[in-house]
Structure 1
Amino acid sequence: MILCITHSNDFYTIDIFFEYLTSKNIPYFRLNSDHLNYLQKISITDHSFELTDEFGNTFRSSDIKAVWHRKGWRISIPEELDDDYVKIFINEYGNLRYNLYTALEDVPWINPFEAEKKTDGNKLYQLKIAKKNKLTIPKTLFSNDEEEITAFFHTYCNGKAVAKLHGVIAKSMGGENMLSTTIIREDNLESMADIAYCPMIFQPYIEKEYELRIMYVDGEFFTGKINNSEHADWRVNQGNYTWSAYELPENIKSSLTSMMKEMGLYMGAIDMIKGRDENYYFLEVNPQGEWGMLQKELNFPIAERIADNLIKRMKTNE
C-alpha cells in the first residue's frame, strides 16, 4: 500500500495519482495532514502504529510500503478549544504526527521527510547547493540590518531590488506557498527602518525574458514557460498567463539533477528565470510546489511519473 500524505482540500493532481495507482492494482491510503488531530484515532507503540481516519478507514504502519509526502498542512484546531490549550494542542499533535512519520522512515518516500524539511525551510541552503552545482544564482542578502541592506542595494542592485520573506506566511487552497515579494527602489529605502522586526531576503531585480516552473521527478524534467517579463513573480498575476512547454539546455538539467541529488530530493518544483543577459538564474525549489497547471495545460504525465517512481522503489525495497 502507498500512503499519500496530503490535506483535506487537495484535488485534481492527487485524483490523477490515485486513478493511476488503481489502474496498476496498487492499493493506497489518503491521509489528510490537517486532520491528524482529534478527528483521527492514532496509537503508536514500539515504532509502529495504527490509525483510523475521519471517515472510519483504518491502516497499520506495517501495511505501508511507500509514502508520497504530497502536501503538508497545518493541523486544524477545533473551534471549541479554549485559547489556553491551543499551544499545547498544536505542540502535542505536531509531536504525534512527527512520530508517526518517522515510524515509516525505512520505506521509500517522495520526498524523504528530513531532507525535505531541511530544504524547504532554508532558502540560503538551497542557493548554496545550487551554486555548488554550477547554477547561476542572484546575489543574496538575508538581513535585519538597515545599514547593511542599504549598502547592498547601492552596491549590487542598480536602483531596483526585490525583497522576500524567507518563510511562508500562508498557503493557497491548493497548498501552494503564498509568497510576499516586494520591489524596492531608491525612494523605498526609508521604509527599511522597521526591518528589525521582520528580517527579509534581498536580491537585485533581474531583468528577465521569461520565467520557468520546472517539475523535477528523479532525473526527468517537465518544464513550463510563462512570458512574465514585467512582474516580480508570475504567481501574483497568474490568471493572465499561458503556459508553453520548454526544453531546458542539457547543462542546466545536469546541474539541477546534481543539486536535487545532493539535497536528497526525488521531486520538487523549481523556479528559474531566463535573464535578458542570456543567463538562467536559479531562484528556489519547493519540494511540495504546485505543478497541476503543467499537467493540465501541457499534458505532462507528472502524477504518473511520481507513482511509477514509488512503485519501482517499493518493489526494490521488498
Structure 2
Amino acid sequence: MILIVSHADDVHATRVLGTLSARGADAVLFDLADFPLKTSIDVAAGDHSSQDINITVETDGGTYDFGEVRAVWWRRPRQFGMDPDMRSEEDRQFAYNECYSAVWGMWLCLEPFWVNHPMQEEAASRKVYQLKAARQAGLRIPETCITNSPERAAAFASAQGGRTVYKAFSATESAWRETRLLRPEELPLLEQVRNAPVIFQRYIEAGYDLRITIIGDRIFPARILSQEQDYKVDFRIHINDVKIEPCTLPAGVEAGLRSLMDRLGLVYGAIDMRLTPEGEYVFLEINPTGQWLFIEAATGQPIAAAVADLLIRHDLGP
C-alpha cells in the first residue's frame, strides 16, 4: 500500500494520487487534520501479536492495516484537528502533545520507503544546515550573514556595497515572504532584526534562475527567464508570467546536487539556483516539499509520473 500524507486541497498530492489510481496502485490519501476527531488509530503490542507492533487506522474512507504500507510520500502534512469545544489552552496543548507522541511513534514503527523521511526532511529544511551541506557537496553559495544583531546586519550590508538581499526562514500561504533587495531607505529598519534573526545574502546577478527537481535518481532541470521581468530578485513574483524551459546541467553541477541530496538524506528535493552572467552556478536553497506542477506545466517534464513510478516501484518491492 502507498500512503500519501497530505490533504484533498493539495493539487500535487491529488495529481499523483490520480496517476497511481490510473495504474491500479493501492494508494491512500491520509490527512493528519482529520485526527483525532475523524480518524482513529489502534496500536497493539504484546507477546501474542503476530507482529511486533500492529497498527490499524480507521478513516472515513475505510480501515487500513498500516503494516501493509510499503511506500510513503510525506507531502504536505497538516496539524492535528483539535476539538473546538475544548476551551482550555492547557487542555488543548496536552491533547495535541498526546496526538503528536502517538502518531510520531506510529511513523517510527513503520518500515516503508519514505519520500522523504519526516525526520530527514525536518533537518534538511533548515536553511543554515542546507548551506553547510551545499558547501560540502562542492556547490558555490552566496556570501551569507544570518543574525539578530542590527550592528552585524548593517556591517554585512555595507560590505556588500548595496547589493544585499534578505529573506525569512519560513512562510505560509497566508503570509508569503519573497526575497527582497535591501534598499537604502530600509537601513534604519535593521533595528527590528533584534526581534528575530534574518537571512542576509550577497545579491547574485543572474543570467537566469533554475529550478531543479530531483526524484530518486531522476533529475529535471528547468531554466526560468526571470531577468526578462521587472522584478529580477525573486522569480516567484511573476510565477504565472515568467518563461520556463527545460535545460541541462554541467556534469559537475549535477554531481554536486546528487551529493547534496545524499548528505541531507533526501529522496525528493526542489532546488533553486542562479546562473550568473559569467556562467557560474550558485546554490540558493532546497525545499524538501517544494512545488513542481508549475514546472511540469511549462516544460512538459513528467514529474508527476516520476513520483508515481518511484512509489509504485517500492510498493511492489524486489
TM superposition score normalised by structure 2: 0.89
1:142 and 2:146 correspond: yes
Q: What residue number does 1:72 align with?
A: 77
Structure 2: runs of 5 or more not aligned: 46-52
* Greater Cα radius of gyration, structure 1 or 2: 2
Q: What residue number does 2:284 align with?
A: 283
What is the Cα-based RMSD across aligned positions, in Å?
2.1
Q: What residue number does 2:225 align with?
A: 227
Output the CA distance in 2 between the equivalents of 1:114 and 1:69.
Answer: 11
Q: What residue number does 2:128 align with?
A: 124
Distance 1:133 1:223, change over 3 A: same
Q: What residue number does 2:173 align with?
A: 171
1:93 and 2:99 correspond: yes
Matches for 1:260-271 after TM superposition, within 5 Å: 260-271=261-272
Output the CA distance in 2 between the equivalents of 1:258 and 1:124.
Answer: 17
Distance 1:153 1:51, change over 3 A: same
- Superposed displacement of residue 286, structure 1: 0.7
Question: What is the aligned-residue identity percentage?
Answer: 27
Question: More displaced, 107-116 or 185-194?
Answer: 185-194
Q: What residue number does 1:18 align with?
A: 17
Distance 1:83 1:271, change over 3 A: farther
Output the CA distance in 2 between the equivalents of 1:233 and 1:34.
Answer: 32
Q: Which of 196, 202, 205 does residue 204 from structure 1 map onto?
A: 202
Length, aligned pairs only: 307
- Superposed displacement of residue 180, structure 1: 4.3
Amino acid at match of 1:170: T
Output the CA distance in 1 between the equivalents of 2:187 and 2:281.
Answer: 28
- CA deviation profile, 1:82-106 (whole Å, cap 9, x unmatched): 15243334333222332222221x2
Amino acid at match of 1:10: D
Asked whether the 8 Å contact 2:55–2:66 carries over to 1, the reply is: yes
Asked whether the 8 Å contact 2:178–2:234 carries over to 1, the reply is: no
- Superposed displacement of residue 192, structure 1: 0.9
Output the CA distance in 2 between the equivalents of 1:28 and 1:22.
Answer: 7
Q: What residue number does 2:294 align with?
A: 293
Output the CA distance in 1 between the equivalents of 2:67 and 2:150.
Answer: 54
Q: What residue number does 1:151 align with?
A: 155
Amino acid at match of 1:162: V
- CA deviation profile, 1:25-46 (whole Å, cap 9, x unmatched): 3211110133233221122233
Q: What residue number does 1:273 align with?
A: 274
Asked whether the 8 Å contact 1:160–1:184 carries over to 2, the reply is: yes
- CA deviation profile, 1:111-162 (whole Å, cap 9, x unmatched): 1221111101x1111111111111110011111011111111122x221211
- CA deviation profile, 1:151-187 (whole Å, cap 9, x unmatched): 11122x2212111112x23137xxxx94343321333
Q: What residue number does 2:54 align with?
A: 48
Segments of 4+ moved more than 6 angstroms: none
Asked whether the 8 Å contact 1:145–1:195 carries over to 2, the reply is: yes
Distance 1:76 1:10, change over 3 A: same
SS at match of 1:268: strand
Asked whether the 8 Å contact 2:37–2:81 carries over to 1, the reply is: no
Question: More displaced, 185-194 or 286-295?
Answer: 185-194
